[in-house]
Structure 1
């Protein structure tokens, strides 16, 4: 049933909405527009439902809205990644041919939306540097942007790109932690529960999942080596650099969880 719906959606996009050559460029524009909408919606809802929003400083309100935007992107790209990887045959063993060259209109369009997000977020980080994040954010976003843009335009390595993008499932927890801290709820039970969930999600999505990606690359090296040289090196470099960064951040998260649990006990 899920595969039938996927095929129908792909045919609709190809035949009535978007022709293949314009999918990448249209989707990037859609991604940027959706980011602006998510940013404005966060500002609107926060001003109505969070009394302390107006008392925040200007840069705090900008970061608040920015984190709402990043949470919206994370929910979208995590959902589409899990759907394409687990609920369709696009990247399954039931299809013949190298997994490194599989793509579709839907998978390409979703990657374009993500490219639009990283462009918008990087622009804000540079414009307000270093208020929204330091050099580690620039490295992370730049690597992600280059890798996603390449696989969107070339159609190569989309499976590995989506596997890595599943790690965005940790973003809403990270943002919620900042929201609770900024709202003065650092000592609340919600802050503690969110910290534990963030630790578990990070361990699964940014540590164990990356290990699986490396193992999958090892098993399918004969297919990976068929990619263009640029895509081939991206397949190894980007996950490796992100994994090192994820491990460093994970150690900080682990230290924070221990500290928080110590205070609660």
Structure 2
């Protein structure tokens, strides 16, 4: 393992993040505050509790997942797209580094950025609601796994994209709707039976359910199922990235 190469790529990605640190901090804080005003105050005044948890606190895990999945995906996709766009990706392909080392650098940087944003949103939520985390270590573990898995998916999107419009296409049309339909702001048990069945085909539903369990010890599905879902998703992304570097799809054209 060439840790020097991994460190160079990782520091390069983190330097790009800290150059826009203020914007990176300001956007999630403002959006989270607005969600608390709209959902926590307006809707929360009509829905006081969900499964014994105040509605304002209940939506915190969903808000964190919404931002983390979007940030991880966009950071990783932009991170690998720019070298491909400028042609510097050929330096990585010709250098004595394996695909795993390249992925560790780019995905590690994107996952770290998303993790920091997740912690900032969590800290912001304490300003609005009285929140207690039942299993802090499990919460951090789910947060890290989500950051890594969606950074891997973002890496794939960055390789696939041929222009800047395509970079935002998948997060906008797929990830955000899946988060909203995955129980970010409600419990699946509140839905009619048909929609409960449909919800179980949404992979994001399992991530949000496991993450919410770490906060309130309440989940729509067993925690083991949530862990299996995120492990399967991560394995699929890794296998696809291996195939990309093996065949040169979209990177050697």
TM-score category, normalised to shorter length: 0.3 to 0.5
Return the TM-score normalized by structure 2. Answer: 0.46
In terms of fraction of residues, the more helix-rich structure is 1
Return the TM-score normalized by structure 1. Answer: 0.45
Larger RCO (alpha carbons 8 Å, 6+ apart): 2
